[in-house]
Structure 1
Amino acid sequence: MTISDVLSDLTIEVRSTSFALHKFPLVSQSGRTRKLLLEAKDTNVSRINLTSGGSNAFELAVKFYYGVNVEITISNMVLLKCAARFIEMTEDIFEKNLEIRTEVFLKDVVFPNISNSISVLHRCEILLSVSEEVNLVS
């Protein structure tokens, strides 16, 4: 049996991509998902539309939700950091969260190396407003 064999109880749409997911892992790790489900007028909500954000970043975050070992790299760090902030994967929600892992990566891999720092700054250009909001640019 694979994950796709298990019926999902929630579909999250990010732009034009739909993700068939399960509420429990999302609610336990994502403050935004928790809020959206609590604020829904229909208690049996089965679809959420995230109007901002990118599907690539959300897909990486979903893998983290489900316990897939997501390797943080120079190439995906900005996406993961922005996704973690947007979907509120913070330590007040879940102790070993995605936001903390990206912070550790910044301190251990990016900041000590000027080449890595420049690479990350270049990747911030595609998500400039969010990158500034999460203090990646500064």
Structure 2
Amino acid sequence: MEEISLPIAANGKRVWSFVIDDMVINLFLMIIFSSQLTALMSGVTEVNQESIVLVNQFIMDNIAIVLAVKVLYHGVLIWQSGMTVGKYVMKIKAVDMLSGETPTLVQALWRASVRLISEMIFYIGFLFAFFSPLHQTMHDKFSNIVVIDA
């Protein structure tokens, strides 16, 4: 088997890619939930126990949709081109570590799912990138993916 050499993306580019992707996802979510958010905000006139209950109920009712949007955004875009919007802007790309090719659908969805878990536990898995020689996060390591300069 021939060994390949890949130009590993800098952590700074990955951080900016993360910020851009979060803004894009939040824009999607604001569009998806615009009518519900408008109704929710019109019912909340001041911060009190009732408004907190309303906001918590909104979150509980829609958490599955939010998680699905995040997994589909990251999973499908990484599978299709190796790039999310943030990666495209920062000129970086996720590739299979062994072949250097765009990840498979299973790899991309697995990466997106592990990424979600990492987000839920205070972004601990993202810190891996700062201590890994290949700048891999926990979701990169588990899916055998590396992020390179495009």
* Pairwise same-fold verdict (TM > 0.5): no
Give the shorter-chain TM-score range.
under 0.3
Q: Which has the higher helix share?
A: 2
TM-score normalised by the chain length of structure 1: 0.27
TM-score normalised by the chain length of structure 2: 0.26
Structure index of larger Rg: 2
